[in-house]
Structure 1
Amino acid sequence: MLRSFKQTLKPCSNSSSSASSLLRISSTQEFEAPRKPPKSSLSQQLLRLDDSYFLPSKHESKTSKIQLEDDHKRNIKFEEEEEDEKSIEFGRPGLNRAEFDYTGPYEPLVLSPIGEIPIIQVPASINCRLLEHQREGVKFLYNLYKNNHGGILGDDMGLGKTIQTIAFLAGVYGKDGDTGEKSVLESEMGPVLIICPSSVIHNWESEFSRWASFFKVSVYHGVTRDMILEKLHARGVEVLVTSFDTFRIQGPVLSGINWEIVVADEAHRLKNEKSKLYEACLEIKTRKRIGLTGTVMQNKISELFNLFEWVAPGSLGTREHFRDFYDEPLKQGQRATAPERFVQIADKRKQHLVNVLRKYMLRRTKEETIGHLMMGKEDNVVFCQMSELQKRVYQRMLQLPEIQCLVNKDKPCACGSPLKQSECCRRIVPDGPIWSYLHRENPDGCDSCPFCLVLPCLVKLQQISNHLELIKPNPKDETEKQKKDAEFASAVFGTDIDLVGGVSASESFMDLSDVTHCGKMRALEKLMASWISKGDKILLFSYSVRMLDILEKFLIRKGYSFARLDGSTPTNLRQSLVDDFNASPSKQVFLISTRAGGLGLNLVSANRVVIFDPNWNPSHDLQAQDRSFRYGQKRHVVVFRLLAAGSLEELVYTRQVYKQQLSNIAVAGKMETRYFEGVQDCKEFQGELFGISNLFRDLSDKLFTSEIVEMHKDSNFHVKERSLLETGVSEDEEEEILCSSKPKSEEPSLKDLGIVYAHRNEDIVNGGKTTTSTSQRLNGDGNSDENLHCPDRKKKKKKKIEDCSEEKDMSSSMREQKREKYKRLAEFKGMEILEFSRWVLSASSFDREMLLEDFLERIK
């Protein structure tokens, strides 16, 4: 007990600190004085924050706060920054972990209540390296543990969920990084089980080695499983790390062990209650189950129930109760034409659900935690014009017998039978190239016919939307499949077969690298030319490895220096590729497979992210963006999601919006704009999003997404106008920020770039909190020369200027007042005018309002 009491009084140690970084203290002082933070540009950022940043959390006593504030004002002094400090980087881009150049608060991180014995606290060697939001996360995990139930740590990617977990475990097990003594606590407690994707097993090992090497960590994976299991039974293992796949197979063996704590990394893998993995995890005996995930809900609200039923059984009631009380009301209330009564009920149920989840989940975003240390992110959705050849091939695809069978499945059969076509004569499609290959061993069809055709047909439509070469036979496939793919390609190419070089896969470098017949690549070519000329670095993602091959040839043809990472890249070489790309100024592009990107890839040297093909699951695209937008990023990150206008990809994107909005409603309790009539899993209200007929309809004659957005543009503009004016940015000043330095005649238009329509994703998902128009700035920087403009907007603005010239002169004094207020706001934020202008355009309306409130309170 005496040792624990001394530990609470001992200041944090940091072996990396030098003697010169310590404050001078008298020789009669009993304890070591607080040290100054290391010299870095981050300390300069912290100086701009309020003193409350260094105070204890709101949960600690008022007396401790006053005492610490006095100590802070009396003792802590920062050294003057050197003139060349701007060149010092915030983070360490080469590391595949969340790491910070910041020595945390100096008071001990005590987890147990005051007066409780033994004292539970985080070792000083870990505590001094934690940021404030990580300290709060550790306290949250301990409260779950103390109350004998589990929960979810749902922080965004890159906020250090792994580090917070390790700090929590070190505190609970009474570890002391300095003495290395075995505590009473750890001798009485069982081991810890960590279940994670196989791709991050090594990451967990390295994090324990770096942060808490005093733990005995072993990996239960591969051929050494039996030996590790024997070691575990002999109490030679404190932390056992295994993969989801291994646990699914070895669940009966591992579930029989009395685990003290079980941690599931990337816990959204437990979203499907029918999977064998979920069933295996339910057999774990301990109630202290912790889930780590940045995407608590991905596709359906029911996924919330499955996840929380594992971490805290019974917390959301029964499955039937959850469906009737939460799931259905929230979905029905989000319908565009839902009666007001439905909307009111949904709002009440939403608030109730959020209050319940708050007991078991801590969810924080980058903007809430480290947003002030980053330049921000802009997520643009760009609808590219398909080439004329792509459009013709797409139309022929829609006319294939397989798709016509699916579209007309509910129509009466032509044979005169009372049955539907899908239940009678059109149940099978023997003359279709896709159906005949799928049922090559069963000419009579399968039990799922014709619905077994849905997925293969969707894949083909997506391939046509991306590049016509993708629907040609893959030389790596078996001979019979190549033969059927050639038959399919011949049917959809039709009379244009000579333009694409026949049905065989092209081996010509010049043909594959040509952008003539690919709408997305034509837009990408022009955008990349502008980015490369400015020294930007680009991450280029694609779900298809064959598409990466084509993009690689395109980059070679354009002379761009690039790196590539996909499923064939050896695991032990991936981090070196990342480090080389971050360190080398000559590397301009990084090609990455969305599926093989893995977790923990830190690519902060890139400030442009291109997602070439969208995924049905929005979390995949969001995780790809976070490869660049994470701590250590010093530039404004701009994302470009390329979609083929008028194709299935528009429907993929609108379903992403639908899922993201449902997640914001159920998890964060936000009110979202009701865009869509469709309701997920409801045949009565399939609307414009759901059902087979919507998947395979022709969208080429309309701007599907644009028309939905335009229905809400008036309310969106009202919100935008209010939020900007409140921060002192006039419309004219905003226009100056957005305009490029080039003459207007040289500004590229959407049409010049091969773009039909573009908007910012956050404007749509968040209900129009910021400006939304058919012409958005796609570069994200105020001083760039690639701002896209809308002719109608320019004409309207010019006419407004001509008609109101006298009125404009009269309001010059008012404009000067606004400019002065804007300048004072920038000084209050600690930024130059241009830097602050970029922050205003990238920040959310909430961040702007908070800044204004703080500013008004300060000047009082």
Structure 2
Amino acid sequence: MSLQTLKETLTRCTTQQQLQPSSSSSTLRDFGSRFPIHRKPPKSSLAQQFRLLQHPDDPPFLPHTFLSQQQQHVQLEEQEEEDQEPETKRVKFSSAKSSQFQFDHTGPFEPLLLSSDGEFPIVQVPASINCRLLEHQRLGVKFLYDLYKKNHGGILGDDMGLGKTIQTIAFLAAIFGKEGESVLSEKQVEKRDPVLIICPSSVIHNWESEFSKWSNFSVSIYHGANRDLIYDKLEANGVEVLITSFDTYRIHGNSSLSNIHWNIVIIDEAHRLKNEKSKLYKACLEIKTPRRYGLTGTVMQNKILELFNLFDLVAPGSLGTREHFREFYDEPLKHGQRSTAPDRFFQIANKRKQHLVVVLNKFMLRRTKEETIGHLMMGKEDNIVFCAMSDLQKRVYRRMIQLPDIQCLINKDRPCSCGSPLTQVECCKRIVPDGAMWPYLHKDNPDGCDSCPFCLVLPCLVKLQQISNHLELIKPNPKDDPEKQVKDAKFAAAVYGPDIDLVGGSMQNESFMGLSDAEHCGKMRALEKLLLSWFSHGDKVLLFSYSARMLDILEKFIIRKGYCFSRLDGSTPTNLRQSLVDDFNSSPSKQVFLISTRAGGLGLNLVSANRVVIFDPNWNPAQDLQAQDRSFRYGQRRHVVVFRLLAAGSLEELVYSRQIYKQQLSNIAVSGKMEKRYFEGVQDCKEFTGELFGICNLFRDLSDKLFTSEIVELHETRKKDGLKTEHEKIKMSEETGLSESDSETRLCDESTGASTSKPDIEFEDLGIVYAHRNEDIVNSRPAIQGQLSTDGAPSSDSLSNMSLVHQRKKPDCVPKKQKIPLIDERKRAQFSLLAKSMGMDELAFSKWLLSATPVEREKVLIDYNKKKKKLKG
């Protein structure tokens, strides 16, 4: 057959099919052109995907991502195959819908009306966007539009992972009349001033990508070498949305972009503007726009005054003047939170807190994951684990404290030994020529600097944190200049002392076996046993560290143990980061993801991991919380367990205590919560430095103390002593649902931290001296005793509120052979009876709890109580 004959044959076949279509096929073809139908994969392939996604011990259900993305296609395929296997298909998908992950995030295909009745022109979110929004996102869009109508700015303060970017794009699409049936004419739309988005450079392309997915804006990026071309396009009204980075706007945009009148300015990660003295803050103040909107999941990170700075930028004058805010809100709230503050101070702080929340809510919308998508997720458990430092670490830590540099700081306020009425820091001890660090810092100025000796504070803190994490970190870094390497080698030799041979000398250790050995690192010893337990259950782990050198050591440790891993830090090219994330999420063989806390960036979705380890804490609690959210976000289908490792008796305990202080202040000022009062210290108040603030507290030797444990127990003791009247006891029993005697018993248990059953894994075996759950310490709600287990399974008789009791090992008053029990034996027995009533053992019942809905848990309790009544009857 010739080629021409073949072409004619094919043409006739095609023409014949077009001339004789059936009505059903034409209807299906028209439907398919508008809604493309993906071919269903073979059953064996689908089953294999489920086996890869599903934990072997989890109850069977379909992945929610499959349901959410393919919902319409599945329904169509069910109709097509109804004659072949109707019952099988219906049973399979109905079981998924009845699970805890049942949800319909796809709304009706209709616009979301934002403008009020009679308002002209009509403003609405296009149906193509509205149908993909969750309910809390629709409320967020309405909140932004309400501020827009009033020519006000504001803050969208949702938790990370709740879709602040999507809500912003939906809001802008409504304002610009994109893809909707708005009565705005094209001419009217073109006259609108452009939108400026300022964000971190790491998420510029993420914003551009989201705009292309959700709408059809004319988006340009003012970043890099093509800035001048983009500016020309902007002047020619060819840009609707301009995206730039913080640094680009601070350096270049302030001189050119500040002259343009912007319709709206969106500031992503707005907490970057917390410092009113920074150049970036001042540059953003000069932007010509009536409306500035900030997007941030951490409105306040360190100080209450950061709230004022942020709101004074987006909504000027909303909180009054700076001095008024300081006197009316800042000082009362801080002093009211002091543990021994008079009741009068506490009452004033409570009134000011309520007033502040009312004002903030006018310009801020703040939602948490628990409030919005908590029913779609399995929950998160944030454990704080205090690991015992090795004996070698303790000796090196004490030598560091005894260095002349630190002793000069500790004794700064003592009278000078020369007989002068001045203090040491004002007289003879202002400089430290015999120190291990001071001579290098002042090599060009033997008389010191204007801030001596306080210029030593930050370098000394860094060294103490390095010793707390790993002794190798204080050795010279080959990437530094030779002179600094010599200085670091001398310092390392001074603090290693007679133990220098045990750490392989004062120069960097090149031995793989030496670096990967956990013998002299308390945290790595605990991590070693935790990883072994987790991987035996098929868990995947995110391992965070602030230091790239610590990641190098952990990488060697992971290789030595034979675990498969991925790594992402500051040296990872930006264009490769997403592929690393996708590979980790899709590959069952990848067990650990090593991530730098600083270089992790934003928008990294690592929901395949259900265990998070933060190896070293950060002074800013938002950094640690953001790291946790890499795993605990929309799309996570397993219970997430977080382990924050701290070196017991080191500076890290003080770092964590300040985290508690900052988190509680944030909850008080932003959310209006009543928090427990642990600390005597008041931030930025020299009169009340307490146990948290001041140089002397920073360099205290805590190696023979349980600093955090003692503070928590002191609070519980005060709480117990405070219940003096029968009226207060009755009130507590009504709030907790316990009898008066049970309330007293609970107070006693909470104050001592003791219980009477044995844990599955002893703390001594893990090298852990103390542990608790962060939410039980920070939040004011009463803790319910539970059990810390490496697999994260709950073991409390409460089926809806599972938390961890404060636990500590008391070496001075408890014999070594005696084990500290973690849970009341009576509760353990009741839990065992519940498991038997379900026909399960305790382990299987614990795992069932993780996937059960609140309704299912309640039903188990009702059935169990009915059986008990029948047996008694």
Q: TM-score range by the shorter chain?
A: 0.7 to 0.9
> Could you tell me which of 776, 791, 808 is aligned with 1:779?
791
What amino acid does structure 1 have at the position aligned with 2:228? Answer: D
- Opposite residue 588 of structure 2, the aligned amino acid is P
Contact persistence 1:154–1:295 (CA under 8 A): yes
**Paired residues of 1:41 and 1:85 also in contact (CA < 8 A):** no
Partner of 1:433: helix, strand, or coil? coil
Secondary structure of 1:290's aligned partner:
strand
Name the SS of the counterpart of 2:666 in structure 1. helix
Are positions 1:443 and 2:446 aligned together?
Answer: yes
Q: Pick closer, same or farther for the CA change 1:819–1:605 going to 2, 3 Å.
A: closer
Shift of 1:87: 9.1
- Structure 2 counterparts to residues 706-785 of structure 1, below 5 A: 706-713=709-716, 747-771=760-784, 776-782=788-794
8 Å contact 2:533–2:791 — kept in the other structure?
Answer: no
Deviation at 1:124, TM superposition (A): 1.1
Q: Does 1:522 align with 2:525?
A: yes
1:761 maps to a residue whose letter is N
CA contact (8 A) 1:604 1:632 kept: yes
For the residues of structure 2 that align with 1:668 and 1:524, how far apart are their CA atoms?
A: 35
For residue 690 of structure 1, what is the amino acid of its counterpart?
Answer: F
Q: How does 1:346-425 map to 2 (within 5 A)?
A: 346-425=349-428
2:330 alignment partner, one of 323, 327, 331:
327
Report the equivalent of 2:300. 297
- Aligned partners of 1:540 and 1:374: how far apart in 2? 21
User: 1:185 and 1:751 mapped to 2: Cα distance?
Assistant: 71
Cα distance in 1 for residues equivalent to 2:341 and 2:759: 47
Consecutive unaligned residues in structure 2, runs of 5 or more: 1-31, 41-60, 69-86, 721-728, 744-756, 797-803, 810-817, 839-843, 862-873
How far is 1:747 from its partner? 3.0
Q: Give the drift of 1:783.
A: 8.3
For residues 319-368 of structure 1, what are the alpha-carbon distances to aligned partners after superposition, in whole Å with 9 as ceiling and x for unaligned? 00000000000000000000000000000000000000000000000000
1:696 alignment partner in structure 2: 699
Query: Over alpha carbons, which structure has the higher Rg?
Result: 2
Listed one character per residue, the Cα deviations across residues 737-786 of structure 1 (whole Å, up to 9, x for unaligned) are xxxxxxx999320011000000000000103532368x6345322489xx
DSSP-derived class of the 2:382 partner: strand
Q: 1:510 aligns with which of 510, 513, 517?
A: 513
2:141 aligned residue? 138
- Compute the TM-score of the two structures, normalised by the length of structure 1: 0.80
Q: Specify the code of the residue in structure 1 equivalent to 2:467.
A: I
Cα distance in 2 between the residues matched to 1:801 and 1:447:
62
Length, aligned pairs only: 742
Deviations 1:167-213 (A, max 9, x none): 0000011111699996344222100000000000010000001111x
Deviation at 1:794, TM superposition (A): 3.9
Deviations 1:679-719 (A, max 9, x none): 00000000000000000001111100001111234698999
Q: Cα deviations across residues 506-554 of structure 1 (Å, max 9, x unaligned)?
A: 0000000000000000000000000011110000000000000000000
- Give, in whole Å, the separation in 2 of the partners of 1:211 and 1:144: 22
1:215 aligns with 2:227: no
- For 1:427 and 1:768, the matched residues in 2 are separated by 48
Query: Equivalent residue for 1:617?
Result: 620
Residue in structure 2 matching 1:245, options 238, 247, 262: 247
Match of 1:232 in 2: 234
Q: Distance in 1 between matches of 2:171 and 2:429?
A: 60
* Rounded Cα–Cα distance in structure 2 between residues aligned with 1:19 and 1:470: 53
CA–CA distance in 2 between the matches of 1:724 and 1:504? 58
The correspondence for 2:92, drawn from 83, 86, 100, is: 83
Q: 1:443 Cα shift? A: 1.3
Q: Which amino acid aligns with 1:409?
A: K
Change (3 A) 1:606 1:16: farther
Establish whether residue 112 from structure 1 lines up as the match of residue 121 from structure 2: no
CA distance in 1, matches of 2:140, 2:33: 22
Alpha carbon RMSD of aligned pairs, Å? 3.8
For residue 105 of structure 1, report the CA deviation from its aligned partner: 3.6
Distance 1:384 1:19 in 2: 52
The amino acid across from 2:793 in the alignment is: D
1:236-263 per-position Cα deviation (integer Å, ceiling 9, x unaligned) = 0000000000111121311110000000
How do 1:830-841 and structure 2 match up within 5 A? 837-838=849-850
Counterparts of 2:507 and 2:819 in 1: how far apart (Å)? 45
Which residue of structure 2 lines up, in the alignment, with residue 602 of structure 1? 605
The verdict on how the C-alpha distance between 1:486 and 1:104 changes in structure 2, with shifts beyond 3 A counting, is same
SS of 1:641 mapped into structure 2? strand
Selected match of 2:492 from 483, 489, 492: 489
Secondary structure in 1 matching 2:764: coil
CA deviations over 1:415-459 (Å, ceiling 9, x no partner): 222221112211111111211111111111111100000000000
Q: In the alignment, is the contact (CA less than 8 A) between 1:91 and 1:631 conserved in 2?
A: no
1:227 shift after superposition:
0.6
- The Cα shift of 1:796 comes to 8.9
SS in structure 2 opposite 1:186? helix
Structure 2 counterpart SS, 1:241: strand
3-state DSSP class of the match of 2:125? coil
What is the CA-CA distance between 1:81 and the residue it aligns to? 4.7
5 Å-filtered alignment, 1:550-699, equals 550-699=553-702
* One-letter code aligned to 1:555: I
In 2: Cα distance, 1:274 partner to 1:602 partner: 34
SS in 2 for 1:323: helix
Q: Distance in 2 between matches of 1:40 and 1:360?
A: 40
Which of 449, 454, 460 aligns to 1:457? It is 460
Aligned to 2:163: 160
Query: One-letter code of the match for 1:334?
Result: Q
175-184 or 330-339, larger mean C-alpha shift: 175-184
* Distance in structure 2 (CA, Å) of the matches to 1:313 and 1:121: 28
Residues 573 and 600 of structure 1: CA distance in aligned 2, closer, same or farther (over 3 Å) = same
Q: Is contact 1:40–1:101 with CA below 8 Å preserved after alignment?
A: no
The whole-number CA distance in structure 2 between the counterparts of 1:303 and 1:368 is 25
SS in 2 for 1:539: strand
Give the drift of 1:672: 0.1
Quick one: structure 1 residues 238 and 413, their matched pair in 2 at CA, closer, same or farther if it must change by over 3 Å?
A: same
Give 2:21's aligned residue: none
8 A contact 2:193–2:240 mirrored in 1: yes
- Any residues of structure 2 matched to 1:246-325 within 5 Å, and which? 246-250=248-252, 251-325=254-328
In structure 2, what is the equivalent of residue 468 of structure 1? 471
Q: Residue 543 of structure 1 aligns to which amino acid in structure 2?
A: Y
Tell me if the contact between 1:720 and 1:771 (Cα under 8 Å) persists in the aligned partners: no
- Are the structure 2 counterparts of residues 182 and 599 from structure 1 closer, same or farther at C-alpha, using a change threshold of 3 Å? farther
Aligned with 1:222: secondary structure?
A: coil
SS of the equivalent of 1:480 reads helix
Task: Describe the SS at the equivalent of 1:383.
Answer: strand
Q: Relative to structure 1, is the Cα distance of residues 261 and 746 closer, same or farther in structure 2, using a 3 angstrom cutoff?
A: closer
Q: Distance in 2 between the 1:181 and 1:668 partners?
A: 39
